[in-house]
Copies of this chain bind each other. A is one copy, B any other.
Amino acid sequence: MRVINFNAGPAGLPLPALEQARDELLDFHGTGMSIMEHSHRGKDYEGVHDEAIALLTELLGIPSTHEVLFLTGGASQQFAQVPMNFLSPGASADYLMTGVWSEKALDEAKFFGTPRVAATTVQADKRYQRVPKQSELQLDPRAAYVHLTSNNTIFGSQWHTFPDVGSVPLVADMSSDFLWRPTDVSRFAFIYAGAQKNLGPSGVTLIIAAKDFLAKGRKDIPKYFRYTTHSENHSLYNTPPTLAIYLVRNVLAWAKELGGLPALEQRNREKADLLYGAIDRNAGFYRAPVERESRSVMNVVFHLPTEELDAAFVAQAKQAQMVGLKGHRTAGGIRVSMYNAVSPQDVKTLTSFMDHFVKMHG
């Protein structure tokens, strides 16, 4: 029996995508071998690779000015690889600080140039409970780029409207909310996302980048770390993580079948309404620290009256086949991650449990 999986990532994946992988695991399309046993230079794997890119292009409406790359190393490698390519000694880039992942990205950029904090919502307790308003941004028009984290997995906040950064290239770490709704890709010079939330297993990193931005990358860095190397080789410069890309393909096919990004947005908003509704109607018991306008649709953080009740909540939910609810050690409390594969019915099961828990312990 499958449990209800609220893990923060790696996260639950759509059952049809997994069933397809299981059914084809020993023999992909009658070829007598698994997709992971195929050469990355053969037509069978290349068909999967190209289909993953085509599905993503179709779902997001990626314009011809932009392209898709598959890399590895997760967002953590991109924290360093982005400034390695686009930030030169003495040059600056603007970082918008909204959580732990923004901090890590900023720290890596310091090895290459002079990143600036152009906005931060950090509190005295080192936590973040909202994203900045446009009026709070102190942007430098000469910055090499502006970097933001679109969704903050740990604290549970999210940019619902992306800031206006003028003509400076906008770079976004979308690891934890990529593909949750239709997105105007043309506003971004560079989007990156580890796959292990909405897209597939860990082990592959998605990039969507403006071709003219990639062309501005430094040439005096190792070939492997230049984005242009992977762009020129269609993400086949070296052996890509073929099995992970195949699973991403399966997940994208499921997303298309479901109705694409408009349907996913509706589904995700329905789940968020259900969950924040349960918190707000029991506001004396459940406390959500994130400001209302910054509440994340993907990761919902809240606290019960005591840490003992937090722990009891997690334990009893697990007995009811709901897992992954313990908050990140930095934020504490409860965290409910509701990525694309989580259904509204899954969330209803949780909110019923939440209402019942209040009656028992409130």
Contacts and interface: CB of A to CB of B under 8 A. Distances in A.
A7 B72 CA distance: 23
B2 A36 contact: no
B25 A3 contact: no
Contacts of A291: none
The complex is assembled from copies of this chain, and their number is 2
A196 B38 CA distance: 10
B40 A10 contact: yes
A239 B202 contact: yes
A43 interface: no
B80 A224 contact: yes
B26 A2 contact: yes
A25 to B, nearest CB: 4
Do most interface residues of chain A lie in helix, strand or loop, or is the interface mixed? loop
A22 interface: yes
A194 interface: yes
Nearest to A194: B239
A232 to B, nearest CB: 14
Contacts of A72: 72-74, 77, 203, 241
Interface in A13-38: 13, 15, 18-19, 21-22, 25-27, 31-34, 36-38
A336 B194 CA distance: 36
Contacts of A241: 72, 201-203, 241, 244
Contacts of A3: 31-33
Given A10-B242, A80-B225, 6 more contacts: A1-B27, A11-B37, A18-B25, A21-B25, A80-B223, A111-B220
21 contacts: A1-B27, A1-B32, A2-B32, A3-B33, A5-B33, A5-B37, A7-B39, A9-B239, A10-B242, A12-B37, A72-B77, A72-B203, A79-B222, A79-B224, A107-B223, A108-B223, A108-B224, A196-B239, A201-B241, A241-B241, A241-B244
Interface of A: 1-3, 5, 7-13, 15, 18-19, 21-22, 25-27, 31-34, 36-40, 72-77, 79-80, 84, 104, 107-108, 111, 194, 196, 201-204, 220-225, 237-244, 247, 321, 323-324
